[in-house]
Chains A and B, each alone.
Chain A
Amino acid sequence: MITFPVRFRVRQIGIDGNTVGSSRILLCEEPGAFLIGKSQEADVPLTGDAVSRRHLSLVLSAEDVRVQDEGSTNGTYVNGTRVDEQVLAVGDQISIPGWILELLAAAESPASATRIAGVEVDASLVSRLVITDDDAPPPTRRTFPDAEFEGKETVSIEALRASGHPIEEVRFCAVGGGLGSFVWVDHLRCYGVPASDIKAIGTEEVCYQTYKRYCKNSQIPDHERLRSNALSRPDNIWGFPGYAMREVGKGIGVKGIFQVFGEPTLSESYTPRAGDVFDSLDIEAKRIGWPEMFLKAQVLGLRKTSDGRYAVAYKLWGGEASGQARNRFIIADAVHLSTGYPATRFVDDFQTFITNHPDARAQVANAYEPHDQMYVEAERRGGPVQFVVRGRGIVASRIIQRLSEARAKNPEIRILHSMRSAIGPRDGAVFRKARRLVRNNVEIQPFNWPKSCWGGDLRVEYENANDEDRGIMLSQLGGTTTAERSDWIAIAERGAEEGWYRPIYGNISDLAPLPPQGEKQPAGVQVSIDTQEGNREELNADYLVDCTGLIADIRRSPFLADLLDTYHLPRNHAYRLKDGKASQGGPTGLRCTNDFEIEGLRNGNGRVYAAGTITTGGPYLAVDSFLGLQYSALRSVDHLVTERIHKVRNLGPLRSLGGWAKWMTGARP
């Protein structure tokens, strides 16, 4: 149930990414839909060149609060993901160019509705509401493609034609439009499928946009290095020459080559620069004709067709069409699903805190959210600033590096590194004869899985294992790790010596907002930690950065939830090993075959494949990695070849060499 007034905090964002002026509150006092945009008729007029006249609508009912994009040119984002329509939870951030709107929890009393953290804020943006008639259907009711798809497992092409929506037929359709789709399409193209036979649908024109956003938020700018291997090139299906050799070619240096030679034992593992990965993807996109194949649209649903194909319903982004003309179908023989992280969901206690104390939102952030302003404020503000960094993974390492860089501007920044327990050199994870390295209380691993999960004996063993054994291997080989980097080790050691870095062990038991005290002491967050010794340590911090990651819950994607329900698709499960016995945990990714086919969607000659994080717990451990995307693309395209139905030619040694030569010379495949 929604309590009115519904409150949004509205912040204006400058070109530098920082907040301009003070926060304002948008109060929505009754259910209804209201428009935000540059237009005079908008209920909430917002300024800015990149804001569309009709940008988005907030749709409030007694049941939920939704945001709906009105076909804006530059899009509407919720927690960093571009959306067409989305139900909001407290703490969700809607961003449009130049503005962030954040859904706050209901005020305790009408009088406190315009207060944030006890401070009265400007509530000048009180809405004019569009009142809806009670008998009218809720304004969010979707007519497309529900009229054609709702309740049906199979639709006929004739019925779709009769609907009057534009229909296009292709052989292959990639749904998602991100890196997973790109890698699959790249394989098809290199196997010889012409660009005219392929369509890729996604909300971002640039395939690495979402990935890049996560990098930026977690403080990996273009010149920093990713956690990836030299030969894991999403722009090159052969993986050769690798990024290290590319650096030599570009005159950056030969150090990378020696790293590749000695890694991971004699030298630190080589990793490519983020910017280089993006640049090379741009080149490959141009080479294979990605822009010709790409449709900027939101995929709304997928159904089997009565003639053994699939109908993909999508809504074209505004700017190319308007109104009903945006609703279209693609009919495809084979479909590839790679929709990525459905929505950002945080670990439970963090989610609870931001739900209960949305006003303290500026003091806490998940590392994958935009939170640059924390560093900027800490650098600007003189005097002591205390950060709690939670988690021991690679993201925490990078955030601590960012904070140590900020110390150049404000040497009084202190870092408290919160970890669940201290781990010694002999406490690393054990898998049969091997034990994971531990350094400075963090487990060290070059990449997010042991290397042989990608192509060594563990890949084979895992693929051949049954569900339970897969689950156990996953739990034994997984876990939070970071990379061995001498600069990170030096930061921890120097910081501990100089007293500005301190690890704290224990469970975070409570988070509470600290209201500001006068000019000198701005708002903060109190972090209570139950230490291993049984004490409770209370830390008054200025900021908390939670680096415990994101949770991929595929049901949070309306598109995938609809598929799961319509076709009763089975899912993979997590497993836990307790006293030598495995017990099944919650559901994880979509179940697929070793060739990444979703069998429940097989339709005559039609085939649906999947890749990426939505296949977690399936036939491959490292699905959520560049090389993992290449592996799953290779498996699924090879499967198309073997089945001989879809007329994809095999890529044997000679054709492969020919294709590689084209790649080397930049010729179109």
Chain B
Amino acid sequence: MIPTLAGRIQTRLFLFLFIGIPITLLYGLYWTGWQWDWRTIQIFVWFLCTITGLGLLLDPVYIFLQTTRWDRDWPFAYQFFFSWVEFGIVFFVARAGLIPYLPEFAFQGGQGLWIATLHFTLVFVPSFLFLLGPLQALFIRWRFKGGQFGKM
């Protein structure tokens, strides 16, 4: 991957909107027994929003790291690794109760870890796979624009 800053932000938001949010809603519905219970579902939604928000804050840092690399690229392995770092940071901050808009009972105990990890896995795997190439089938200019959408 050879993303630019705008490309990182656009691709992140695209995957968040079109893969992250739908899967999160389904996952939330699963935990509420397929009943629309916003009080529970919102935990998952806000959790994903927080990860995305953190990612947006970190994107300039990643771009800085890229400029220190001769190829100014970003290996898929790094993308993989840092996605989980982002998840880990948000999870532990949430677990410590430092995210005010998330209820205190969320992410506690062994089950909290398991539920959050499964959630992130379900969002991350398809997003990452989508990034590996299928995105190009829809947007042929995306790979030349460092991850931005639209015309050249």
- Which A residues form the contact surface with B (CB < 8 A)? 231, 237-242, 245, 260-266, 428, 431-437, 445-446, 450-452, 454-460, 631, 634-635, 638, 642, 651, 653, 656-657, 660
Contacts and interface: CB of A to CB of B under 8 A. Distances in A.
7 contacts: A261-B75, A264-B71, A450-B71, A451-B2, A451-B72, A456-B2, A660-B137
User: Which of A231, A460, A642 has the most chain B CB atoms closer than 10 A to its own CB?
Assistant: A460
Contacts of A231: 133, 136, 143
Given A237-B140, A262-B77, A634-B141, A452 B68 contact: no
Given A261-B80, A264-B75, A445 B70 contact: yes
A450 B71 CA distance: 4
Contacts of B73: 264, 450-452, 456
Contacts of A458: 72
A595 B75 CA distance: 29
Given A262-B75, A445-B71, A657-B138, A452 B2 contact: yes
Nearest to B75: A265
A240 B134 contact: yes
B145 interface: yes
A275 B144 CA distance: 26
A272 B57 CA distance: 37
A638 B152 contact: yes
> Is chain B's binding surface mostly helix, strand, loop or mixed?
loop
Interface in B60-77: 63, 66-73, 75-77
A385 B66 CA distance: 46
Contact of B137 (A264, A436, A657): A657
B70 A437 contact: yes
Contacts of B69: 265, 434
Nearest to B145: A455
A432 to B, nearest CB: 7
Interface residues of B, number: 33
A635 B63 CA distance: 26
Interface in B106-152: 132-134, 136-141, 143-146, 151-152
B3 interface: yes
Contacts of B76: 260-263
Nearest to B68: A433
Given A260-B132, A432-B67, A455-B143, 17 more contacts: A238-B136, A238-B137, A239-B133, A245-B133, A262-B75, A264-B73, A265-B69, A265-B75, A451-B71, A452-B146, A456-B2, A456-B146, A457-B5, A631-B144, A638-B152, A656-B140, A660-B137
B4 interface: yes
Nearest to A428: B70
Interface of B: 2-5, 63, 66-73, 75-78, 80, 132-134, 136-141, 143-146, 151-152
Contacts of A657: 137-138
B120 to A, nearest CB: 19
Nearest to B146: A456
A378 B105 CA distance: 78
Contacts of A266: 75, 77
A450 B78 CA distance: 18
Contacts of A242: 133
User: Which of A238, A436, A456, A458 has the most chain B CB atoms closer than 10 A to its own CB?
Assistant: A456
User: Which of A238, A239, A260, A436 has the most chain B CB atoms closer than 10 A to its own CB?
Assistant: A238
Nearest to B78: A265
3 smallest CB-CB distances across A and B, nearest first, come from A456-B2, A240-B133, A452-B72
B65 to A, nearest CB: 10
Nearest to A444: B70
A188 B63 CA distance: 35
User: Which of B5, B80, B132 has the most chain A CB atoms closer than 10 A to its own CB?
Assistant: B132
Given A455-B2, A653-B139, A634 B71 contact: no
A263 B134 CA distance: 19
Contact of B77 (A245, A265, A452): A265
Contacts of B72: 434, 450-452, 456-458
A201 to B, nearest CB: 26
A656 B151 CA distance: 13
A638 B151 contact: yes
B70 A634 contact: no
Contacts of A433: 67-68
A434 B77 CA distance: 20
A434 B136 contact: no
Contacts of B77: 261-262, 265-266
B134 to A, nearest CB: 6
Nearest to A641: B151
User: Which of A231, A455, A457 has the most chain B CB atoms closer than 10 A to its own CB?
Assistant: A455
Contact of B144 (A457, A459, A642): A459
Nearest to B137: A660
Contacts of A653: 138-139
A457 B138 contact: no
B75 to A, nearest CB: 5
B145 to A, nearest CB: 7
B68 to A, nearest CB: 5
A435 B133 CA distance: 29
A508 to B, nearest CB: 29
Contacts of A445: 70-71
Contacts of B66: 452, 456-457
Contacts of B78: 265
Contacts of B68: 433-434
A200 B139 CA distance: 27
A198 B73 CA distance: 37
A446 B146 contact: no
User: Which of A260, A265, A452, A638 has the most chain B CB atoms closer than 10 A to its own CB?
Assistant: A452
B146 A455 contact: yes
B20 to A, nearest CB: 19
Given A240-B133, A434-B69, A456-B4, A656 B138 contact: yes
B140 A634 contact: yes
B61 to A, nearest CB: 14
Contacts of A454: 2, 144
B136 A240 contact: yes
Nearest to A455: B144
A434 B143 contact: no
A262 B140 CA distance: 24
A278 to B, nearest CB: 22
Contacts of B4: 456-457, 460
B152 A635 contact: yes
A363 B68 CA distance: 45
A163 to B, nearest CB: 41
A344 B32 CA distance: 71
Contacts of A437: 70
A326 B13 CA distance: 58
A638 B80 CA distance: 33
A242 B146 CA distance: 18
